Amino acid sequence: MEDKDFSQVIEDIGAVISAHHSFLLMSHVRPDGDAIGSQIALGFSLMAMGKEVYLVNEDGVPESLEFLKGSEKVTLPPKEAIEVDVAIALDTATKPRLGDKSLHAASKAKVWLNIDHHISNPAYGDVNLINARKPATGQIVYELLIALGYPIPDETRDAIYVAVSTDTGSFQYASTTAETYVLGADLIRRGLNVGKINADTYDNHPYRRLELMRALLNTLQISEDGQLAYWELLDKTRMDLDLQPDDSEGLIDMIRSVKGVRVAVFFEELPDGKIRVSMRSKDSGVNVCDVAMTFGGGGHALAAGIRMAGPLVDAKPRVLSALRSALASQNNF
């Protein structure tokens, strides 16, 4: 999205917000820090303007994010559709990823806004603010609020930081820009307790996460050339350890960080029989989003995902074959 397009879309979103009173904010199923953080950030800014705001997520707030101020406002979608003027999808690459219950809750909305940073987003809103160059949807929300002069209460401030920090690997990934650091500095100037919020985000995991890490390491495999690392989580392991959906968040970075590894993959059996595949590349020449899209998934060039039919014994070799081809193509370039 060019700067002039960005400015025009900002104006369009501002016009929609000015013209309406009630808003339903949603994010994708199995939400992460960017999804929940973006919801809370924009939601509390709108509340501070006197708007009527509902925050809904199909799976609720992950246990690891319950420390965020305002997280209690994010609820499961009600059975009946909510009477609202505007539905806002945040950090959600495709509309179905919001979940059937959330989509039903939003079915009476007159206008849809789509705010996201996934390159695979098909622009399903009436107004679409999509910028794949931004490292997190939280940064887009921040820039939107600053551009429109909207309030940034404490809940918004903290949620933006967590959204951006978690989606940039604590400001480490290549997608992190100078503007991202300016954002962090501004939030600290606004009163963010950076030490406490980092401790709450990264140093407060349940013991079962450590048990999960041990189980995953026992399945770890690395290709002969050392460029491809992968592990798997079986549904039986999930049940044995009584895991929560967000217990595995960020663990793929452990194998991604191995010297020589260019692509890391996390295969996960889901209760419905499908397979969730998370892929991370640390080589700009290997675009895992392109691979994901061949299986109906999507995401970013260096971080993408797939939800595909099982069983694992069938899905795993198909994905690994596609990744080996992508790596070989780059090696021969």
Instruction: Output the tens digit of pLDDT for each of the chain's 333 residues.
Output: 555 588 899 999 999 999 999 999 999 999 999 999 999 999 999 999 999 999 999 999 999 999 999 999 999 999 999 999 999 999 999 999 999 999 999 999 999 999 999 988 999 999 999 999 999 999 999 999 999 999 999 999 999 999 999 999 999 888 899 999 999 999 999 999 999 999 999 999 999 999 999 999 999 999 999 999 999 999 999 999 999 988 998 899 999 999 999 999 999 999 999 999 999 999 888 999 999 999 999 888 899 999 999 999 999 999 999 999 999 987 654
> Is residue 289 domain-shared with residue 319, that is, in the same domain?
yes
pLDDT at 332: 58
Q: Which residues fall within 8 angstroms of residue 165, CB to CB, at 6 or more apart?
A: 33, 171, 184, 198, 201
Report helix, strand or coil for 133.
Answer: coil
Domain with 296 in it: 207-331
pLDDT at 245: 85
Strand segments (E) across 119-262:
127-130, 221-222, 228-233
Contact 114, 89 (CB under 8 A): yes
Q: Which residues fall within 8 angstroms of residue 13, CB to CB, at 6 or more apart?
A: 113, 115, 127, 129, 144, 148
Final residue of a domain: which of 152, 184, 202?
202
Query: Residue 153 belongs to a domain with what CATH number?
Result: 3.90.1640.10
> Is residue 44 domain-shared with residue 158, that is, in the same domain?
yes
> Is residue 284 domain-shared with residue 193, that is, in the same domain?
no
Rounded to 5 degrees, φ, ψ at 34 are -70, -40
> Is residue 70 domain-shared with residue 172, that is, in the same domain?
yes
> Is residue 27 domain-shared with residue 135, that is, in the same domain?
yes
**Which amino acid is residue 203, in one-letter code?**
D
Distance CA 140, CA 153 (A): 17
Report helix, strand or coil for 262.
Answer: coil
> Is residue 26 domain-shared with residue 74, that is, in the same domain?
yes
Final residue of a domain: which of 169, 202, 235?
202
> Is residue 133 domain-shared with residue 189, that is, in the same domain?
yes
> Is residue 131 domain-shared with residue 241, that is, in the same domain?
no
> Is residue 183 domain-shared with residue 233, that is, in the same domain?
no
Q: The whole model's pTM is what?
A: 0.88
Distances (CA, A) of 21 to 97, 120, 156: 26, 31, 19
> Is residue 9 domain-shared with residue 157, that is, in the same domain?
yes
Contact 160, 41 (CB under 8 A): yes
161 closest CA partner among 210, 109, 200: 200
Final residue of a domain: which of 202, 219, 242?
202
> Is residue 86 domain-shared with residue 139, that is, in the same domain?
yes
Query: Residue 212 belongs to a domain with what CATH number?
Result: 3.10.310.30
What distance lies between CA 156 and its chain's CA centroid?
A: 17
**Number of domains into which the chain is organized:** 2
> Is residue 180 domain-shared with residue 272, that is, in the same domain?
no
